[in-house]
Homo-oligomer: A and B are copies of this chain.
Amino acid sequence: MATVRISELGEFVGQQVTVRGWVVTTRSSGKIAFLVLRDGTGLVQGVLARKEVDDALWERFAGLTQETALAVTGTVRADARAPGGFELTLTDLAVTGPSTDFPITPKEHGTSYLFEHRHLWLRSRRQVAIARVRHEVVQAIRDFFYARDFVLVDTPILTGSIGEEAGNLFSTDYFDLGKAYLGQTGQLYGEAAAAALGRIYCFGPTFRAEKSKTRRHLTEFWMVEPEVAFNDSDDNMRLQEDFVSYVVGRAVERRGAELRELERDTSPLERVQAPFPRISYTDAVAKLNTLGSDITWGRDLGGDDETLLAREYDRPVFVFNYPREVKAFYMKENPDDPRTVLGNDCLAPEGYGEIIGGSQREDDYDRLLARIVAQGLDPQAYGWYLDLRRYGTFVHSGFGLGLERTVAWICGLSHIREAIAFPRQIHRLFP
């Protein structure tokens, strides 16, 4: 007799099989009893008729509690009304792992309580659905780049050099070499790799020791950062819109069941098609002023400004050529307006805000050095990065997309902490 996963039941209709999993719920009329079982691949209902089973089995059933691990044996029946489309007519049942007073019950729990029990909360239907969407998004990201001959380059977490501002970094003692910092971007390394391999991407965890407690911040999050030799800022935005459209489209196409479980209205996601509208920072400020914002030229867009602006469009929007004072030192000066840099953000619709920051990189040695000095960074620490402008400097561009923000948007989550299995926030390091 075959031991099968719930997702495979369709191949065994009419046959007797064994399924291993955990109890979700049970109910009984006294004559007929129902069991919903989960095994990580899906849910199936098991049915037990009192008059067809012996007393011992009926008793064992009566003793089942939430999250008891068990092996059930039964005949697979197709049933369109059943969750998953199949039902099991049970003939046997063995408890393999008891469970008493499982901490996450169908009743409401507070957020703190749920995150303290995250290792168990992950078993709930909603969390399973989010995990599967995240999984699909990650594979879609990797497939997109693999199919386009981008080479994955894993950039280091432990770094001596510092990517952006010197604050907000976690550090650790590193043998006799002093402090190592946990990388908050792989970009600088990605630029070196782009000179070797043409088109590359890195995709790994990044770290920010910011004391931000917003619904859009984690101290540890995953970021994908492609970097392309010979792409300018326009090429870069084209790559971004193709990329975001692909990833969102694939999640909608392949994870419809999970998005329904999350009660996500997918129509806004279906509108995510390239090309995306583009608006310069300068025009965006003017538009925001007409919409009621008091933002003035030179200030960065706040979260409210992003939401206000994004609401004007039915898909993600690019805001490009920001004032250089609000952007990182490595962005290329705009030759048409040196107050600005050739960078862009991509704002998601529905209030989800920035999901991408990208730019053409400064490829002029002297200008880059001047920017490093002006920001109070140590040119020595950036010696290797400056080398890229010393030996065959090249036009190149790239961007970073935050995974959890993207998953939160696609799933329709109000806080990104649910978009990762074990979120890290300034007050949360367990489990």
Contacts from A to B (Cβ < 8 Å) = 3, 5, 7, 20, 22-23, 39-41, 67-69, 96-100, 102-103, 117, 119-120, 122-123, 127-128, 131-132, 134-135, 138-139, 142, 146, 149, 151-161, 170-177, 180, 182, 189, 192-199, 204-205, 207, 209, 211, 219-220, 222, 229-230, 363, 384-385, 387-395, 420-422, 424, 426-427, 429-431
Whether the pair A430, B161 counts as a contact (CB closer than 8 A) is yes
Once the chains are docked, how many angstroms separate the CA of A211 from the CA of B175? 8
Chain B positions within 8 Å of A426 at CB level: 175-176
Q: Is A161 a contact partner of B431 (Cβ separation < 8 A)?
A: yes
CB distance from A247 to the nearest CB of B (A): 14
Which of A117, A180, A391, A422 gathers the greatest number of chain B CB atoms within 10 Å?
A391
B220 touches A160 (CB 8 A): no
B174 close to A429 (CB less than 8 A): yes
Q: Determine if A69 and B393 form an interchain contact, defined as CB atoms under 8 angstroms apart.
A: yes
Known: A7-B149, A98-B392, A177-B429. 10 other contacts (CB 8 A): A96-B394, A119-B192, A122-B192, A135-B152, A155-B421, A156-B424, A157-B207, A171-B172, A176-B427, A205-B205
Closest Cβ–Cβ distance, residue A28 to chain B (whole Å) = 20
Known contacts A120-B391, A199-B40; A205 and B204 CB within 8 A of each other: yes
A430 proximity list for chain B (CB < 8 A)? 160-161, 384
Residues of the B chain whose Cβ atoms lie less than 8 Å from the Cβ of A96? 393-395
**What are 9 residue pairs bridging A and B, where the CB atoms are less than 8 Å apart in the complex?**
A40-B229, A41-B198, A67-B392, A69-B392, A122-B196, A154-B420, A156-B421, A156-B424, A157-B182
Tell me how far the C-beta of A343 lies from the nearest C-beta in chain B, rounded to whole angstroms. 21
Within the assembled complex, what's the spacing in Å between the Cα atoms of A160 and B192? 34
A204 touches B207 (CB 8 A): no
- On whether A153 and B421 interact (CB within 8 A), knowing A67-B392, A175-B211, A230-B20, the answer reads yes
A99→B390 CA distance, assembly (Å):
6
Residues of B within 8 A of A122 (CB): 192-193, 195-197
Complex-state Cα separation, A197 to B117, whole angstroms:
16
A232 to chain B, nearest CB (A): 12
> Which residue of chain B has its CB nearest to the CB of A20?
B230
Residues of chain B lying within 8 A (CB to CB) of residue A139: 142, 146, 152
Which residues of chain B are near A387, meaning CB under 8 Å? Answer: 119-120
Q: Nearest Cβ distance between residue A261 and chain B, in whole angstroms?
A: 14
How near does chain B come to A268, taking the closest CB pair, in angstroms? 25
Whether the pair A196, B427 counts as a contact (CB closer than 8 A) is: no
Chain B contacts for A157, CB-based, 8 A: 157, 182, 205, 207, 220
Are the C-beta atoms of B99 and A198 separated by less than 8 Å? no
